[in-house]
Amino acid sequence: MSKKYQHLLSPIKIGNTVFKNRLIASASKPYFIQGTEPYPTDKVINHYTNKAKNGAAIVTVNGSSPPLFDIPYADRIKERAAHPSWFNPERPWFAWGSHTVTYAELDAGCEHYFSEMTEAIHFYKSVACMQINAGAPGNYDVSNTPPSSSVTGFGFETLPDGPGGIEVPAAMLDGVAEEFARQAAYLKEVGFDMVQLHMAYRATLAGRFLSTILNKRNDEFGGSHANRMRFPLMIADRIKQRCGKDFLIDVCISGAEPAGGYTLEDAIEYAKLFAGHIDMLQIRAGDIDHTHPVNYNLTRMPFLHMAEAIKKSGVPLAIVTIGGYQNLDDCEDVIASGKADFIAGARAWITNPDFGRKAYEGRGEDVVPCLWCNQCHISSYHNPWTTVCAVNPTWGLEDRINRMIEPPSQKMKVAVIGGGPAGMEAALIAAGRGHNVTLYEKTGALGGLLKTTETVSFKWPVKDFKNYLVRQIGKTNVKVCLNTEATPEMLKAEEYDAVLAAIGAEWTVPPIPGIKGKNVVLAENVFGNEDALEKNVVVIGGGEVGIETGMHLVEKGHKVTVLEMGNMLAPKAPPVHFYAMFKEAWEKLPDFHAVVNARCTGIEANKVTYVDADGKKHTIAAGSVVLAAGMKSKQDLALKFNGTADRLYLIGDCNEAGNIQKSMRSAFSTASML
DSSP state of 251: E
Phi and psi of 544, rounded to 5°?
-60, -40
Are 671 and 430 within 8 A, CB to CB? yes
State the average pLDDT over residues 362-367: 96
Cβ atoms of 281 and 267 within 8 Å: the answer is no
**Under 8 Å between Cβ of 49 and 124:** yes
In this structure, are residues 389 and 396 in contact, taking their beta carbons and an 8 Å threshold? Answer: yes
**64 DSSP 8-state letter:** P
Lowest-pLDDT choice from 196-205, 263-272, 456-465, 535-544: 196-205
Residue 363 reports pLDDT greater than 90: yes
One-letter amino acid identity for 323?
G
DSSP H helices, 315-459, are 328-336, 347-351, 355-360, 401-404, 421-432
Assessment of whether the complete model's pTM goes beyond 0.85: yes
Contacts of 178 (CB under 8 A, 6+ apart): 238
Distances from the Cα of 184 to the Cα of 105, 235, 257, angstroms? 11, 10, 28
What number of other Cβ atoms are within 10 A of residue 582's Cβ? 23
Query: Helix, strand or coil for residue 497?
Result: strand
State which H helix or E strand residue 12 sits in.
strand 12-14
pLDDT for position 307 = 98
Query: What's at 350, amino acid-wise?
Result: I
Please tell me which residue, 379 or 25, carries the higher pLDDT value. Answer: 25
**For residues 641 and 292, what is the distance between their CA atoms, to the nearest angstrom?**
43
Cα–Cα distance for residue pair 497/36, rounded to 1 Å: 45
In this structure, the strands spanning 194-199 and 248-254 are parallel
Residue 608 pairs in a beta bridge with: 603, 620
Beta partners for residue 199, in sequence order: 253
Q: Are 446 and 424 in contact (CB under 8 A)?
A: yes
Q: Give pLDDT tens digits for 584-611.
A: 999 999 999 999 999 999 999 999 999 9
Per-residue model confidence as pLDDT tens digits over 604-646: 999 999 999 999 999 999 999 999 999 999 999 999 999 999 9
Q: How many CA atoms lie within 13 A of 559 on its CB side?
A: 6
Given a cut of 60, whether residue 70 has pLDDT beyond it is no
What's the distance, Cα to Cα, between the start and end of the chain in Å? 36
User: What does the radius of gyration of the chain's CA atoms come to, in whole angstroms?
Assistant: 27
Contacts for 428-433 with beta carbons within 8 Å, 24 or more apart? 428/469, 428/472, 428/473, 428/476, 428/478, 428/671, 429/667, 429/668, 429/671, 429/672, 430/500, 430/671, 430/674, 431/476, 431/477, 431/478, 432/476, 433/407, 433/408, 433/671, 433/672, 433/674
Q: Which residues partner with 413 through β-bridges? A: 436
CB atoms near residue 72 (< 10 Å): 9
Average pLDDT, the chain: 91
Q: What pLDDT does residue 90 have?
A: 72
Pair 561, 593: CB distance under 8 Å: yes
pLDDT at 165 over 50: yes
Residue 66 has pLDDT above 60, yes or no: no
Dihedrals phi, psi of 434, to nearest 5 degrees: 95, 5
Give the H/E segment covering residue 183: helix 170-189
Please give the pLDDT value at position 160.
40
- Cβ-in-10-Å burial (0-12, 13-18, 19+) of 13 comes to exposed
pLDDT given at position 382:
86
Distance (Å, whole) CA 248 – CA 282:
13
How many CB atoms are located within 10 Å of the residue 456 CB?
19
Give tens-digit pLDDT for 503-521: 999 999 999 999 999 999 9
Distance CA 55, CA 362 (A): 13
Query: 257-284 pLDDT, tens per residue?
Result: 999 999 999 999 999 999 999 999 999 9
Within a 10 A sphere around the Cβ of 193, how many other Cβ atoms? 21
Residues near 19 by Cβ (< 8 Å), separated by ≥ 6? 11, 12, 13, 57, 58, 127, 342
Higher-scoring residue by pLDDT: 106, 286? 286
The three-point CA angle 77-79-84 to 5° equals 100
Residue count (the chain) = 674
Query: What does the pLDDT read at residue 153?
Result: 35
Domains and CATH numbers, the chain: 3-366 (3.20.20.70), 405-506+633-671 (3.40.50.720), 515-629 (3.50.50.60)
Q: What percent of the chain has pLDDT over 70?
A: 91
Residue 95 has pLDDT above 90, yes or no: no
Nearest of 525, 439, 422, 453 to residue 483 by alpha carbon:
439
Do residues 409 and 498 touch, judged by C-beta distance below 8 A?
no
The DSSP 8-state label assigned to residue 95 in this structure reads -
Proportion of the chain above pLDDT 90, given as a percent = 79
Question: In angstroms, rounded to a whole number, what is the distance separating the alpha carbons of residues 280 and 282?
Answer: 7
Q: Supply the DSSP string of 633-658, one letter for each residue.
A: E-HHHHGGGTTSEEEEEE-GGGTS--
Phi/psi zone of residue 314: left (φ > 0), alpha (ψ -120 to 50 degrees), beta? left
Q: Which residues pair with 310 in a beta bridge?
A: none
Let me know: does 480 contact 632? Beta carbons within 8 Å.
Answer: no
Alpha carbons 82 and 62: distance in angstroms, whole number: 27
- pLDDT tops 50 at residue 450: yes
Residue 477's CB: how many other CB atoms inside 10 A?
Answer: 7
pLDDT in tens, 321-341: 999 999 999 999 999 999 999
660-671 and 421-432 helices cross at what angle (nearest 10)?
30
d(CA 565, CA 568): 8
